[in-house]
Amino acid sequence: MFALGPIGFTAPWLLLGLAALPVLWILLRAVPPAPVRRRFPGVALLLGLSDDETQTDRTPWWLLLLRMLAVAALIVGFAGPVLNPQAERGGSDPLLVLVDGTWADARDWPRRMDRIDAALDAAARNARPVAVVTTTELPEGSPPFRAADSWHSQLPGFQPRPWAPDARKLTEWATGLEGAFDTFWLSDGVERPSRAPLLTALEKHGTVTVFQSPRPILALRPARFEDGAIALSVQRASSGVAAEATIIATGLDPNGVERDLARAVAEFDAEATEAQVRLALPPELRNRITRFSIQGVRSAGAVTLTDDSLKRRQVALIAASDDREGLQLLSPLHYLRQALEPSADLVEGALMDLLLANPDVVILADVANLAPVEQQALLDWVNEGGLLVRFAGPRLAASDVSRAEEAPLMPVRLRAGGRTVGGAMSWGEPKTLRPFGEESPFHGLAVPDDVRVSAQVMAQPDPTLSERSIAALTDGTPLVTRKGVGKGQVVLFHVTANAEWSTLPLSGLFVRMLDRLAIPSRVARPSSDALAGTTWVPQDLLNAFGMIEAAGTRPGIPGEALARGRPGPDTPPGLYAGEDRRIALNVFSDDTPLSAAKWPARIAVEGLDVARERLLKGWFLAAALAMLALDVMASLWLSGKLRGPHAGLAATMVLALVLPPHMSRAQTPQDDARAIAATTEVVLAHVVTGNPEIDRVAQAGLRGLSQVLTQRTSVEPAAPIAVDIETDELSFFPFLYWPVAADQPLPSPEAYARLNRYLRTGGMILFDTRDADISRYGGGSPAARKLQQIAAPLDIPPLEPVPQDHVLTRTFYLLQDFPGRYDSRDVWVEAAPPDARRAEGMPFRDLNDGVTPVVIGGNDWAAAWAVDENRVPLFPVGRGYAGERQREIAYRFGVNLIMHVLTGNYKSDQVHVPALLDRLGQ
């Protein structure tokens, strides 16, 4: 390809056409523009006049230049210019495109794909066979070299994996390669021990070129709970500049919607590769967090899932009520509080109240008898998976609970009275603990020597006693017993929770035993021993882009694999659920190293940037066309055709070429101001009819009504607003007054849609035909016919004349007439449902709920209401005192109407007042 700087040409020979341009110049120069023929009577006066200048028969030089440039652009355009033509990489050997394909790749995976695309294009031009391989998903045997084009369709199938390549397998694969080939290695930029051997192996077969993105690699270590706050650590591969990373805590909100619950900013010092941030959150919020992620980084390494280690369990502590005040150290709950406070949320109170909060654990310290209701509720709760821990004590020893037969909430039957050993009045020494057996959940805990038990409640020997006993004294009597109830379990400590009966609560063993019982929150990750033999089922899986995917029906993994803490193809990162807890397997664990990849100096490392080939042919041809269009205009102007008889037409065409095709109508700030004005206060509104006189009267009428409302009621409307139903938002207005003018245009379909929405969502329109003096409702007056046309597409329910018991007759004033300037009885509202009937003894029917969406009449209410700025009525109503009375009733109708709009059927509900009073009386 012939290239000039960054531009190459696909058909360079066409450029020879440029040599013809000077010839064209001379030709064009010699041909003057064609003359205009004009009929002109004044030609008689022109006869004999000669032109002063003779040079204008030549085309002006700038027009020539324009034409030359247009032709040159055409020639260049057809010569196929290409910006950034891809320099060919030499070599005809097969090409191995090796992609790391790890989580660190995910952040700019599309760019990697683009780079591979470009490499495939280049290889296709050179007919090199290509193989594309990711290190996280190695092919069996040697790489599949194929024609480059066939890889294009497969590229979307390559996805990064959220784990690092298996070093051993990778080395094995690399040593097994055969044949000569060059390698393009798209590195993810993270240093790994497997890199050096792989590089050595690849270099044996040909040159290796490394492509690596300079973008920083960020990773998030698992969140830890430290000193009441969540500690997060962000790692980066390369230091050098100060930077910051925003960490987002994501979880389900109380509605079950996943959202960002908190965020914090971690700041890297210039030389640091690690940034710490602490996030102090309320426990309720903290328990909801399911994962942390670094904002803007699409990579599984930047996401860390939280498991139970961040959760705080809720423990309900209940002691028998005691009347001994002030003896804190003797309180049965003191040692439990001390032991559990750092790692659990403690709640105390009445049992029934606490059960409503659904705690994870309920601890009953020396509570013997429960009310039947309490017992049943507690049993249900245990059946649902609750853990009930009971401690013995004097009350339990003295009670008959679980004496003759086993109580459902006790693991064993108890013998009466219990026993005391080593006291002043008894034989023998206080007992110590026997080492825990293998079946015991306490197995492995060291038994300190100083734990002494001086009193306990005794279990009745039962066939099940030995299996229910999980801790025993040296003499074999059970100290802790347990049984399963439904999904939950009941544990009984045969001693008190305070130091009265034993020194156990004073020792560290007490805390560890509670821990083993999973009473406190799990702060530490279980050891691999603890996980051995267990099976963990994935619940949520993390893909390389840091997205959560449903695990589907993937099989469980053994606990040993989970304990290794290293994600791989068999153990994808995600959240795994075990028997009683969940463990997160994160891509980036506490000890995963992160540093930038180092390459030997002999290896060429390139960025991922691909200067894409850009065909410029279209641009050149477009430029040529634009110049020719310009030439047309210039020629017209030169030859005087832009002036003269047809100048207007020509100018229009020129403008049409120059101006954008249409001008968009922007939303003006006045719209917002208007919306604010309409919504800060109650505003009455009227529809603009287009007839200025009617609009003025409507405005004045609503002004008068607003003043009356302000004087007499608690409704204090602002100045009324004129509403254009074609353009204005209607939902701000509870009430629209619509004077119907005979010459009013019909609303557009969009306006009808909005009007219908307005009516459906509770708006009210008062239609006023203003012709009740000459026409009755349904009559043939022009305004009435117009109203029929306007209302036909509206969503208006069946109507009826206002019935005597309509709520409109009593929302504020008691009215039966609704006069305006004219006094017609024809006022129509939404019809009552046909089954509305009057209850016995009630003055009103039990009418429909809601507000009638329309009120239709012709009494010209606005004219009766209308006042000028000095509050003087604008129009006379009736005659004399009777007229003023009619105006007063008109105002009262307006007040009733607005009250109806604003309070709905509130007055209608008064029908039920006797019934309500009757019910309250009971």
Determine which residue in the list 23, 43, 257, 270 makes contact with another protein, applying CB under 8 A: 43
Q: Is 601 in the site for another protein (CB under 8 A)?
A: no
In the complex, what is the shortest distance from the CB of residue 31 to another protein, in angstroms, rounded to a whole number? 12
In the complex, what is the shortest distance from the CB of residue 42 to another protein, in angstroms, rounded to a whole number? 5
Determine which residue in the list 12, 17, 33, 408 makes contact with another protein, applying CB under 8 A: 33
And the tokens for 737?
Answer: 């007054």
> Among 809, 856, 848, 808, which Cα is nearest to 831's?
848
Q: Are strands 129-134 and 146-147 parallel, antiparallel or unpaired?
A: antiparallel
Q: Is 44 in the site for another protein (CB under 8 A)?
A: yes
Determine which residue in the list 644, 745, 762, 797 makes contact with another protein, applying CB under 8 A: 644
Task: Yes or no: say if 686 and 862 are a contact pair by the CB < 8 Å rule.
Answer: yes
Q: Which is nearer to another protein, 581 or 641 (CB)?
A: 641
Q: Which is nearer to another protein, 423 or 640 (CB)?
A: 640
Task: Yes or no: say if 292 and 223 are a contact pair by the CB < 8 Å rule.
Answer: yes
Task: Find the helix packing angle between 617-638 and 61-78, rounded to 10°.
Answer: 160
Determine which residue in the list 23, 51, 153, 329 makes contact with another protein, applying CB under 8 A: 51
Residues 255-284 that bind another protein (CB under 8 A): none
Taking residues 646 to 675 in sequence order and writing x for each that binds another protein by CB under 8 A, - otherwise, the string is -x----------------------------
And the tokens for 515?
Answer: 């821990």
In the complex, what is the shortest distance from the CB of residue 652 to another protein, in angstroms, rounded to a whole number? 15
Q: Is 45 in the site for another protein (CB under 8 A)?
A: yes
Side-chain-side CA neighbours of residue 598 (13 Å): 4
In the complex, what is the shortest distance from the CB of residue 793 to another protein, in angstroms, rounded to a whole number? 45
Determine which residue in the list 19, 23, 37, 110 makes contact with another protein, applying CB under 8 A: 37
> Among 412, 414, 456, 413, which Cα is nearest to 432's?
456
Determine which residue in the list 36, 524, 658, 814 makes contact with another protein, applying CB under 8 A: 36
Three-class SS of residue 267?
A: strand
Strands (E), 42-178: 81-83, 95-99, 129-134, 146-147
The gap from C-alpha 487 to its chain's centroid, in whole angstroms, comes to: 36
Task: Yes or no: say if 586 and 235 are a contact pair by the CB < 8 Å rule.
Answer: no
d(CA 866, CA 821): 10
**Which phi and psi angles does 339 have, rounded to 5°?**
-75, -35
CA dihedral 340, 342, 344, 349 (to 10 degrees): 60
Q: Is 789 in the site for another protein (CB under 8 A)?
A: no
**Helix/strand/coil (H, E, C) string of 611-638?**
CCCEECHHHHHHHHHHHHHHHHHHHHHH
Q: Is 29 in the site for another protein (CB under 8 A)?
A: no
Determine which residue in the list 19, 26, 39, 282 makes contact with another protein, applying CB under 8 A: 39
Q: Is 62 in the site for another protein (CB under 8 A)?
A: no
Q: Is 489 in the site for another protein (CB under 8 A)?
A: no
And the tokens for 865?
Answer: 């209401």
d(CA 477, CA 440): 15
And the tokens for 456?
Answer: 């306990």
And the tokens for 353?
Answer: 């109240």
Question: How many binding residues for another protein (CB under 8 A)?
Answer: 31
Q: Which is nearer to another protein, 607 or 644 (CB)?
A: 644
Residue with tokens 């509080």: 337
Q: How far is CA 109 from CA 159, 297, 608, in A?
A: 8, 12, 10
Which range in 40-48, 230-238, 626-634, 846-854 contacts another protein by CB under 8 A? 40-48
Q: Is 40 in the site for another protein (CB under 8 A)?
A: yes
Q: Which is nearer to another protein, 44 or 257 (CB)?
A: 44
Q: Is 113 in the site for another protein (CB under 8 A)?
A: no
Residue 588 CB contacts under 8 Å (≥ 6 apart), including other chains: 219, 220, 221, 222, 235, 301, 304, 594
Task: Yes or no: say if 131 and 98 are a contact pair by the CB < 8 Å rule.
Answer: no
Determine which residue in the list 46, 655, 659, 666 makes contact with another protein, applying CB under 8 A: 46
In the complex, what is the shortest distance from the CB of residue 60 to another protein, in angstroms, rounded to a whole number? 12
Q: Which is nearer to another protein, 648 or 669 (CB)?
A: 648
> Among 327, 318, 339, which Cα is nearest to 505's?
339
> Among 800, 748, 791, which Cα is nearest to 767's?
791
- Report CA Rg, the chain: 45
Q: Is 60 in the site for another protein (CB under 8 A)?
A: no
d(CA 469, CA 479): 7
In the complex, what is the shortest distance from the CB of residue 75 to another protein, in angstroms, rounded to a whole number? 30
Three-class SS of residue 524?
A: coil
Which range in 235-243, 328-336, 611-619, 635-643 contacts another protein by CB under 8 A? 635-643
In the complex, what is the shortest distance from the CB of residue 44 to another protein, in angstroms, rounded to a whole number? 5
Which range in 228-236, 471-479, 642-650, 760-768 contacts another protein by CB under 8 A? 642-650
Q: Is 5 in the site for another protein (CB under 8 A)?
A: no
Q: Which is nearer to another protein, 51 or 579 (CB)?
A: 51
In the complex, what is the shortest distance from the CB of residue 71 to another protein, in angstroms, rounded to a whole number? 23
Q: Is 486 in the site for another protein (CB under 8 A)?
A: no
In the complex, what is the shortest distance from the CB of residue 654 to another protein, in angstroms, rounded to a whole number? 16
d(CA 281, CA 262): 8
Q: To 5 degrees, how large is the angle CA 543–CA 544–CA 546?
A: 70
Q: Is 35 in the site for another protein (CB under 8 A)?
A: yes
Determine which residue in the list 547, 628, 633, 638 makes contact with another protein, applying CB under 8 A: 638
And the tokens for 203?
Answer: 């270099």
Q: Which is nearer to another protein, 649 or 676 (CB)?
A: 649
CA dihedral 652, 658, 662, 665 (to 10 degrees): -110
Q: Is 645 in the site for another protein (CB under 8 A)?
A: yes
Determine which residue in the list 19, 23, 26, 47 makes contact with another protein, applying CB under 8 A: 47
Q: Is 34 in the site for another protein (CB under 8 A)?
A: yes
In the complex, what is the shortest distance from the CB of residue 655 to another protein, in angstroms, rounded to a whole number? 19
Determine which residue in the list 5, 54, 326, 555 makes contact with another protein, applying CB under 8 A: 54
Determine which residue in the list 23, 53, 780, 881 makes contact with another protein, applying CB under 8 A: 53
Determine which residue in the list 4, 22, 27, 56 makes contact with another protein, applying CB under 8 A: 56
Strands laid side by side in the 718-723 sheet = 718-723, 683-687, 735-739, 764-768, 854-857, 828-830, 799-801
Q: To 5 degrees, how large is the angle CA 243–CA 246–CA 248?
A: 160
Q: Which is nearer to another protein, 42 or 90 (CB)?
A: 42
In the complex, what is the shortest distance from the CB of residue 27 to another protein, in angstroms, rounded to a whole number? 18
Q: How far is CA 725 from CA 666, 739, 803, 885, in A?
A: 18, 13, 30, 34
Q: Which is nearer to another protein, 552 or 648 (CB)?
A: 648
Which range in 50-58, 434-442, 811-819, 894-902 contacts another protein by CB under 8 A? 50-58
Residues 529-588 that bind another protein (CB under 8 A): none
d(CA 820, CA 703): 15
In the complex, what is the shortest distance from the CB of residue 46 to another protein, in angstroms, rounded to a whole number? 5
Q: Residue 589 burial by CB count (10 A; 0-12/13-18/19+): exposed, middle or buried?
A: middle
In the complex, what is the shortest distance from the CB of residue 23 to another protein, in angstroms, rounded to a whole number? 24
Residue ranges in contact with another protein by CB under 8 A: 32-47, 49, 51-54, 56-57, 638-641, 643-645, 647
